[in-house]
Structures are given as structure tokens and as C-alpha cells.
Amino acid sequence: MAGENFPVIILENPKYSGNIGMVCRLIANFSLSPLRIIGKAHDLSFEMEWMAYNSKQELDSISYYSSLVEARSDLDIVIGTGMIHGGNRSEFILLSKIPEMVKIKKFGIVFGREDRGLSRNSILYCDYMVDFHLPGYQKSMNLSHAIAFVLSSFHTYKENNPTPVDSFPERNKTHFYEYSKSIFKILGMEEFHNNDYLPVRRLKSILEKINLSSGDIDFFYKIFNRIEFLNSKKSQSEK
């Protein structure tokens, strides 16, 4: 799925149309869900299109909302960004902890206006807040740079924690290898090296070295089925 383990990006009243274009380019870079903007729709400008660069589809897919409440209606978790702690803000969490926390959630990260950050009202509707804890003396980031920084952390996490392959279920192995016996018989290999179990054992020893997915097994079944079908047609033609 587009945007798997990646956030929906939400912008609150962005000031500069060029930033909207750059964010759309990032959405195309990372294959994310369409951009959501809280506030009035921005007219398509040369700067927006130029900054989007080959991301016209993302520009056309932007959704506009009147409030964060509306923008987050289908999301399980929304995380706000900011550097000011305390007050009525939700718990601050580390950016590095977010991918693990939202593994099976549909979530969004909301970024405030370039010149004043998230509004107090939107902060109230964030489940968590995140501060990037940058090491330099300049703590604020350009909007598109901040989003790129966030997305790169999710990409790094995904690269280091690949989704496990759908392994060959144990309960299906008995049927699969029993079925292979009949296929070896059709192929005249049922007594390979004078041992009627050796072909199946050899097949099993080869396949067990590989982390097979259910799709891989389906492919073998299609081969087996095809061999049976062709053998059946041959038998009928010989009658």
C-alpha cells in the first residue's frame, strides 16, 4: 500500500505555495498518501508546479479541510511537531520511537505554518508531539526540510526492519510433499536411485533452505497441476 508504515502528511495553513510544491515532490518520492491541508485552497502557481517537479498528480490530489478534527477523521493517531514543551501540549515522544509505535495504525504528522508553527487549537487535537532535537544552534527548519527529515527516519527504519516474508505454513507442508510424490511418479522419478522416498527428500532439502512465501508455494502447485493436466490429456489421447 502506498504509504505503508509512513505517515499521512498534514499542513496547517502553509504560507508559501513553493513549500506545498516541494512537499508534493516528497510525497511522490516516498509514494505517500495524498497531502492534506488545513485551510483555504491554494491556487496552482508557477512556483508550486516548479517546486513539485514532475509531481503534478500529487498537486491535483491535495485535500483541503477546515480543521484538524476534520483532517484526522480517518486516522488512528496524529502527531504534532513543535519545539515548545509544556502548557496544554500532549506527551512529547522521540521521532525514532514513532515507527514502532504506529506499526499497525493509520497515522498522520501535522506541520504548522512556516512563520508561527502549529496553532493552539490543532495542538489540542494531537495525540502526541515530537521535537526533532537538532544538534545545531538553529533549531527551526524549512517546512519541506522538516518533512524530508521525518520521512527519511521512517525510510531508514523500514530498510532496517523489512516486513517478514509470508513463510510457508507448517500445516501445508505435509500436503505439499505428499502431492509431490504423485508428480514424481508421473515424471517417472518415483524410484530415483532405487529409493522411492529420495526425490521428495531431495525436493524438501532444497526448498527448506529457502524462506518460501505462500506465493512461491502457489507457483509450485500451478506447475504440479499443469503436469497432472498434461498427463491426463496424454492418457486420454492414447486410449
Per-residue pLDDT of 6-62, as tens digits, reads: 899 999 999 999 999 999 999 999 989 999 999 999 888 899 999 999 999 999 999
Identify the band that residue 83 occupies on the pLDDT scale cut at 50, 70 and 90: confident
> Quick one: pLDDT at residue 217?
79
The answer to whether 84 touches 90, Cβ cutoff 8 Å, is no
Residue 236 parent element (H or E): helix 214-238
pLDDT: is 158 or 89 the higher one?
A: 158
Q: Kindly report the pTM of this predicted structure.
A: 0.68
Strand, helix or coil for residue 180? helix
Which of 42-51, 79-88, 89-98, 116-125 has the least mean pLDDT? 79-88
> Quick one: pLDDT at residue 166?
54
> Quick one: pLDDT at residue 90?
80
> Quick one: pLDDT at residue 1?
40
| Number of CB atoms found within 10 A of residue 144's CB | 22
The string of pLDDT tens digits covering residues 171-203 is 677 788 888 888 888 888 876 555 556 788 888
pLDDT: is 213 or 3 the higher one?
A: 213
**Which sequence spans correspond to the domains of the chain?**
8-160, 170-238
> Quick one: pLDDT at residue 71?
96
> Quick one: pLDDT at residue 192?
57
Question: In this prediction, what percent of the chain has a pLDDT beyond 90?
Answer: 44
| Number of CB atoms found within 10 A of residue 27's CB | 27
The mean per-residue pLDDT over the stretch 70-84 comes to 92
Round to whole Å and give the CA distance between 224 and 106: 40
Strand, helix or coil for residue 202? helix
> Quick one: pLDDT at residue 2?
43
The string of pLDDT tens digits covering residues 126-136 is 999 999 888 89
> Quick one: pLDDT at residue 169?
62
Q: What are phi and psi of 38, to 5 degrees?
A: -90, 120
The answer to whether domain 8-160 has CATH 3.30.70.260 is: no
Round to whole Å and give the CA distance between 227 and 239: 19
Round to whole Å and give the CA distance between 145 and 137: 16
Residue 29 parent element (H or E): helix 17-30
> Quick one: pLDDT at residue 165?
54
Strand, helix or coil for residue 178? helix
